[in-house]
Structures are given as structure tokens and as C-alpha cells.
């Protein structure tokens, strides 16, 4: 595994490092909203999924959705976090046209989930990947706001409240993320966890999972002081990059933002704590608003909701129902199938890939199967822009091909030809091999005959190979050619060596 090396940016006055903490908003995969029975269906006509509670009509009372609470606990357990049997809902007061209540119901002082940790795998192009532990500070439940639509009419803004009141899990990390690649990897890993748990569908295009990235810069050595003391004054002032929903933009935005802050500090200025937006077209971040401090929101306990008290027995019941998580699956693939960490990572990056591999590998050579799945099959799907679910070759069929390689019916080279025919719809591997007569020739008599002919016809090469045994490859090539690629390469080598006396 690659070491975790510090990510440094060269400034005019020396090196800088980046420090990041992320806040992820993950929409709970629930059919109903957090405090009302209104539907959460995506793409409904504007203002159709709105109950009187979501529209904040006077006198309406919120009622907590037990299913959403369960998903928050489930996610907390997946993050190896403390589950708080006592938590409480607070009102976070601010004005937005798409927030009719004038406040958001959130959890401030007493979140449902406390500290946890995830192991983040970071892919480094051209190198082996590495991992780092990222501490989780908390996870709390809160309501989403509605949506203001500014581009339908030049003179007015429309409001769609379908999203108003939808349950979100806000997952806050500690500032343990240290490079643009690590930030993207953190979101990727967290997304894989919630998808595996089934608590959020992870659809970033629809905004169902989005990240606010808090970025600050400091001199080398400062971060270590912060970790020793827990004193944030060792770190720089942070800016929050809001609502990022693409891995590529996350990295671009952080790189831009870190350099912007470095330039400000180096020219004698001060970074303002603010919320910024990334403009992917310009590749820049720009100020959206100055960042409020918690006390600006005038948080207070929501008088319409009782504190949330959950029983330990329920937590244990949920714990017992947790599925295998991506990092556990990866470790199992390494151990049980003898796969490399890299291959295990690729195959467990989503549940469909893992299931496909496990079906294809059942009772077969697992390493060979992993190679075929990750290289030949994924290579083909990537090239064609297809999802695994659209694969023309099923897991069972690919397994059939692998069996033919393992039992020496066909060589690896011929197998590629057979695979191409399977993709073209010619059917199962065994039938293709039969139909086209592609079986490997292991009959030594037949190979010997070809070898004898080639030796007899090439006395110069024979003299040469006795001098230089490394030219044996020439004979192997001739025999393979004469056999249409079907001769068993090992048998060919053995017979040639015996006959040539080398």
C-alpha cells in the first residue's frame, strides 16, 4: 500500500497544507417526509407533495417518522458511531423564501448519532491506493428546505415545496481530510456505505447526496499541533464550499479555493469565514454569503416535539440486521478469494459488481475470475458505456468460460476470442468452442508431428537455438501458428525442449 504523504502547495513564501472537514447531506431513503406523511417521490409536479405541515400552516404539528429515525441509527451503526438514546430537535431560525416555517427543525445540542470513524480508501492514479481513518463528529436528522426557481420568469421567483420537510441526515466529519483526492474519496466511501445500508440511494445527480467542503490552509506542522491539542487556533480560517455533488468538481473547487486562500494570506490579507459556491464553467469559487456562527441561528428546543428517546434493545435489533459493509466485504474478498487489495477494492466498490463476481467465481479459480471480470468484462463495459446490469455476458456464462481455461480446454488467448463471440451473442463458451473447433490440442502425438516438421524444415534455426536457447520462442511461435493457436503452450514448450535437446 502507498504511504499517506502530505499534500503540499507551493506558495510565494513557502509550502502550505490543506485541512478539510466535510458535511454531507444524505436524503433518507424514505417514502414519507420527516414530520409529515407527504410523499418524497422525485420529479412530481411542483407543490404536489406538500402537506399542511410542510407548508407551515398555523397550528400544524410535526409528528416524527419512526422509519427515518431507524435509518439514522442504522447509518450511525455503519459509521461505527455512538448512538445516543436521548436526542432532541431544535429550531434553527433563518429566513428563506423556500422555508415557510422561518426555521428548520434540526438537531443541534443533542444529535442522534455521536462520534464514529470510517476508513477511507484513496485511489492514487498510477500507484497503489492507500487508506486513512476519518473521524466522524456527529450525524443528525433535519428537514430539507424547498426550492426557489429563479429561471422560469424574468420578474418573479417561484417556490416548489415538494422537498420541504424531506428527511436529511447531516453527517459531519472531523477535519481529518488532507487533499483534494482524499475529499473525493471520503464522499465516495461514505456514499458506498449508505448505499450498502440502504439508508440513502446516494444519487448525487438528483442532489440526494451532496457535500459541503470546509477548506482551510496552514503551514506544515500546524495540523499536527492541532491534533495534539485539539485547539482549532492552530488551523487557518475555513471557507465552506456548498452543495458539491460531483467528485471532479469537489477536487477542482478545493484546489482553486486553497490557492485563493494562500494568495490572500501571502499578500498580507485575512481569509473571511464564508460560504462559497463553485462555478464549474469558470473553475472558480465565489462568495455566496458570510458564514453565520451557531449563535446567529438562535437555536432552541422545538416545543412541538418531545425529546427523542430510543431503547437500547431497538438499537441492538437494528445492529443485528446490518448488511456486510464495503470495507468488510473487501477484507473478505482479500482473505477468502486471495485477491489483491486493489482487485478486492474494485469488485466491492458496489454491491452489483461484488455479487456478479461471487456468482462467476463460485467453484472456480477466483483470481482468474477476478482478472476476467475486472479487465475483460469491465474493460468492455467501460468502452461501450454500459452498466453491469446491461452486460451481454451473465456471471454464470463468464464462469463457464473460466472453467474452460482452468481445465485446459482452451488457452487464455483463445478464450479472448471466445469471449468476443459471447459478447456478439453466439451463446455459451462451451458451445462456441465446440462449434468452431477451438479446443486446445493437448494430444502430444499431434503436437510432436508438427514439431518434427518444423525442426526438419529449419536446420539453420536448429543450429542457432542450440547456441542460444533463448531463441526457442521462435519455434514456439511457429508451432502455435501451425496449430491455429490451439496447441497447449506448455506441451509445445516441453516437446520442443526434449526434441532439440536444450
Partner whose footprint covers residue 251, from ligand ADP, Mg ion, none (CB < 5 to 8 Å by kind): none
Find the residue with minimal CB distance to ligand ADP.
Answer: 21
With CB cut-offs between 5 and 8 Å by kind, which of Mg ion, ligand ADP, none does residue 213 bind?
none
Q: Do 73 and 184 form a contact (C-beta atoms < 8 A)?
A: no
Q: Which residues bind ligand ADP (CB under 6 A)?
A: 19-23, 172-175, 214, 216, 232, 235-236, 238
Considering beta carbons, is residue 138 or 364 the nearer one to ligand ADP? 138
Least distance to ligand ADP, CB of residue 215, Å: 6
Min dist CB 251 to ligand ADP, Å, is 16
d(CA 105, CA 144): 9
Comparing CB distances to ligand ADP, the nearer of 259 and 497 is: 259
Smallest distance from ligand ADP to CB 136, Å:
9
Binds 416: which of ligand ADP, Mg ion, none (CB < 5-8 Å by kind): none
Rounded CA-CA distance 96/164 in Å is 12
CB of 238 to ligand ADP, least distance (A): 4
Give the phi and the psi of residue 185 in degrees, each rounded to 5.
Answer: -65, -35
- Min dist CB 174 to ligand ADP, Å, is 5
Cβ closest to ligand ADP, residue 142 vs residue 343: 142
Cell numbers given for 115: 462520534
Hey, what's the cell of 239? Answer: 471557507
Angle between helices 472-482 and 459-467 in degrees, nearest 10: 140
Q: Pick between residue 67 and residue 132 the one whose CB is nearest to ligand ADP.
A: 132
CA-nearest of 107, 238, 125 to 177 is: 238
174 or 497, CB closer to ligand ADP?
A: 174
Phi-psi region of 385 (alpha: psi -120 to 50; beta: other; left: phi over 0): left
Q: Is the dihedral of CA 330, 333, 338, 342 positive or negative?
A: negative
Ranked by CB distance to Mg ion, the top (closest) residue is: 23
Cβ-based neighbours of 151, under 8 Å, separated by 6 or more: none
Neighbours of 162 (CB within 10 A): 24
Strand 147-149 and strand 130-143: the pairing is: unpaired
Least distance from Mg ion to the Cβ atom of residue 320, Å:
32
Between residues 23 and 284, which has the closer beta carbon with respect to Mg ion?
A: 23
Nearer to ligand ADP, 277 or 446 (CB): 277
469: which DSSP letter?
G
Query: Could you give the 3-state DSSP secondary structure of residue 106?
Result: strand
Instruction: Choose among Mg ion, ligand ADP, none what residue 44 binds, the Cβ cut-off being 5 to 8 Å by kind.
Output: none
235 binds, among ligand ADP, Mg ion, none (CB under 5 to 8 A by kind): ligand ADP
Q: Which grid cell is 120?
A: 477511507
Return the number of the residue (114 or 392) whose C-beta is nearest Mg ion: 114
Q: How far is the CB of 75 from Mg ion (least distance, A)?
A: 17
d(CA 461, CA 27): 71
Sign (positive/negative) of CA torsion 360, 364, 366, 370? negative
> Least CB distance from residue 290 to ligand ADP, whole Å?
12
Nearest to 490, CA basis, from 421, 412, 428: 412
Whose Cβ is closer to ligand ADP: residue 96's or residue 206's? 96
Collapsed DSSP state (helix, strand, coil) of residue 401: helix
- Cβ 172 to ligand ADP shortest distance, Å: 5
Which one of Mg ion, ligand ADP, none is in contact with 19 (Cβ closer than 5 to 8 A by kind)? ligand ADP
Interface residues toward Mg ion, by CB under 5 A: 23
Residue 30 binds which entry of Mg ion, ligand ADP, none, CB below 5-8 Å type-dependent: none
How far apart CA 453 and CA 471 sit, in angstroms, is 18
Cα–Cα–Cα angle for 407, 411, 413, rounded to 5 degrees: 150
DSSP string, 184-204: HHHHHHHHHHHHHHTS----T
Q: How far is the CB of 352 from Mg ion (least distance, A)?
A: 33
- Closest CB to Mg ion among 23 and 365? 23
What does 326 interact with, of Mg ion, ligand ADP, none (CB < 5 to 8 A by kind)? none
Interacting partner of 21 out of Mg ion, ligand ADP, none (Cβ under 5 to 8 A depending on kind) = ligand ADP
Amino acid at each position: 500500500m502507498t504511504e499517506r504523504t502530505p499534500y503540499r502547495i507551493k506558495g510565494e513564501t513557502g509550502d502550505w497544507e490543506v485541512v478539510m472537514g466535510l458535511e454531507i447531506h444524505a436524503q433518507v431513503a424514505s417514502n414519507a417526509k420527516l414530520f409529515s406523511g407527504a410523499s418524497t417521490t422525485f420529479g412530481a409536479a411542483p407543490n404536489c407533495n406538500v402537506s399542511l405541515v410542510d407548508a407551515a400552516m398555523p397550528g400544524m404539528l410535526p409528528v416524527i417518522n419512526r422509519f427515518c429515525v431507524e435509518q439514522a441509527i442504522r447509518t450511525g451503526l455503519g459509521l461505527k458511531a455512538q448512538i445516543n438514546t436521548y436526542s432532541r430537535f431544535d429550531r434553527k431560525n433563518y429566513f428563506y423564501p423556500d422555508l415557510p416555517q422561518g426555521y428548520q427543525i434540526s438537531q443541534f445540542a443533542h444529535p442522534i448519532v455521536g462520534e464514529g470513524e470510517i476508513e477511507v480508501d484513496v485511489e492514487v492514479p498510477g500507484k497503489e491506493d492507500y487508506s486513512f481513518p476519518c473521524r466522524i463528529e456527529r450525524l443528525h436528522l433535519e428537514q430539507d428546505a424547498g426550492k426557489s426557481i429563479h429561471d422560469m420568469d424574468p420578474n418573479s421567483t417561484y417556490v416548489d415545496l415538494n422537498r420541504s420537510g424531506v428527511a436529511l441526515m447531516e453527517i459531519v466529519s472531523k477535519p481529518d481530510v488532507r487533499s483534494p483526492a482524499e475529499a473525493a474519496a471520503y464522499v465516495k466511501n461514505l456514499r458506498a456505505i449508505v448505499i450498502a445500508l440502504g439508508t440513502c440511494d446516494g444519487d448525487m445527480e438528483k442532489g440526494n447526496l451532496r457535500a459541503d467542503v470546509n477548506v482551510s490552509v496552514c503551514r506544515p506542522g500546524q495540523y499536527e499541533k492541532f491534533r495534539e491539542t485539539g485547539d482549532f487556533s492552530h488551523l487557518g480560517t475555513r471557507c465552506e464550499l456548498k452543495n458539491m455533488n460531483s467528485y471532479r468538481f469537489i477536487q477542482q473547487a478545493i484546489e482553486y479555493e486553497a490557492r485563493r486562500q494562500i494568495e490572500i494570506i501571502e499578500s498580507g490579507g485575512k481569509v473571511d469565514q464564508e460560504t462559497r459556491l463553485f462555478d464549474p464553467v469558470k473553475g472558480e469559487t465565489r462568495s455566496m454569503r458570510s458564514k453565520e456562527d451557531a449563535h446567529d441561528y438562535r437555536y432552541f428546543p422545538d416545543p412541538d416535539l418531545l425529546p427523542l428517546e430510543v431503547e437500547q434493545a431497538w438499537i441492538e435489533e437494528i445492529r443485528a440486521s446490518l448488511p456486510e459493509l464495503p470495507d468488510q466485504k473487501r477484507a473478505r474478498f482479500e482473505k477468502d478469494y486471495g485477491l489483491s487489495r486493489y482487485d478486492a477494492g474494485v469488485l466491492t466498490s458496489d454491491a452489483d459488481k461484488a455479487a456478479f463476481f461471487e456468482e462467476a467465481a463460485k467453484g472456480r479459480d477466483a483470481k482468474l475470475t477476478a482478472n476476467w471480470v475486472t479487465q475483460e468484462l469491465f474493460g468492455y463495459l467501460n468502452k461501450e458505456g454500459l452498466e453491469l446490469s446491461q452486460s451481454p455476458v451473465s456471471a454464470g456464462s463468464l464462469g463457464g468460460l473460466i472453467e474452460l481455461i482452468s481445465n485446459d480446454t482452451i488457452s487464455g488467448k483463445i478464450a479472448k476470442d471466445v469471449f468476443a463471440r459471447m459478447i456478439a451473442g453466439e451463446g455459451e463458451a462451451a458451445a462456441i468452442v465446440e462449434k468452431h473447433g477451438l479446443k486446445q490440442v493437448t494430444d502430444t502425438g499431434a503436437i510432436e508431428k508438427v514439431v518434427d516438421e518444423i525442426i526438419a524444415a529449419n536446420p539453420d534455426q536448429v543450429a542457432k537455438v542450440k547456441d542460444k536457447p533463448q531463441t526457442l520462442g521462435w519455434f514456439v511461435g511457429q508451432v502455435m501458428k501451425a496449430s491455429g493457436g490451439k496447441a497447449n503452450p506448455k506441451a509445445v514448450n516441453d516437446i520442443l525442449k526434449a526434441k532439440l535437446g536444450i
